[in-house]
Amino acid sequence: MPETSSEPDITIEPLLGIIGGSGLYDIQDLEEKEWRRVETPWGAPSDELLFGRLHGLRCVFLPRHGRGHVVSPTDLNYRANIDAMKRVGVTDLISLSAVGSLKEELPPGHFVIVDQFIDRTFARQKSFFGAGCVAHVSVANPVCTRLGAALEEAARALGLPVTRGGTYLTMEGPQFSTYAESVLYQSWGCSVIGMTNMPEAKLAREAELCYATVAMVTDYDCWREGHDAVTVDQVVKTLFANADHARDLVRAILPVVGQPRGLCSSGCDRALTHSLITAVSHRDPAVVAKLDAVAGRVLHAA
């Protein structure tokens, strides 16, 4: 007898969310643009969310550091940012992030579609769950492979220099690495280093969002001989050139990921199915209420 799928027959109308990093504070060419404040139980997001349409398809943009770059990586309210995206109906989330390179073959201007992270941060709230409602979510494969493949295809079609796969080392900041740290991270096999994608990726998984990172190289980290010769002007020039390419990438990928689809083949949208540990009778109602957007699918089914 033929095998039958246990997955329900569901059609999802995707809504693409974009989180823009350093140098990317707006998305031009959006139609029906509207900046809108979104309230969350976790506090205020980095900025208002920008709603609009590209190619007739809806999307939502959030400048990670706020317009004018006013929030440092440590001070970002990662939980509010992810909750806000989930709360407005985002299903697919692309993170665009400026990074330093830890490999010679990843020069400034190169794009890396990351597939792994190492989290070296220590001063951030990293989970929506805790006392009153405990959950343990797998982040063994923290990036949606479906989104990653779509991003690679779109980047290559645009002629952008791109590498699929690589490990993003997330440091606390706001200072950059010491030379010894940079060499250590190289020895671990990391590809790029930045300050923002953790706990962002972990929280996106807890919120059952399909998530992918495009790491945009602005410079070599301090491991490389001649690093001190790199000027701020050169880095800024690369930063804004990368931002322009990132906007092109968003325009290219939206017609692909914005079409109706079934459940995610990577299982991102079902990450919480077996993750809640606290018995229903022991869950704190106040905590459950805060989780209405990120975990409503499983909490309402209990």
Q: What are phi and psi of 146, to 5 degrees?
A: -65, -45
Closest listed residue to residue 124, CA positions, set 180, 177, 201, 189 = 201
- Whether the CB-CB separation of 215 and 108 falls below 8 Å is answered with no
Beta carbons within 8 Å of 147's beta carbon, 6+ residues apart: 92, 94, 210, 211, 212, 257
Q: Assess whether 221 carries a catalytic annotation.
A: yes
Looking at 75, 219, 228, 284, which residue is catalytic? 219
Could you tell me which of 58, 59, 105, 62 has the C-alpha nearest to residue 200? 62
Q: Please report, as a single letter, which amino acid is at residue 88.
A: V
Whether 80 and 44 have beta carbons less than 8 Å apart is answered as yes
Q: Which residues make Cβ contacts (< 8 Å) with residue 276, sequence separation at least 6?
A: 133, 134, 135, 295, 298, 299, 302
In Å, what is the CA distance from 176 to each residue of 51, 200, 260?
Answer: 33, 19, 42
Catalytic residue among 75, 221, 228, 244: 221
Q: Which residues are catalytic?
A: 219, 221
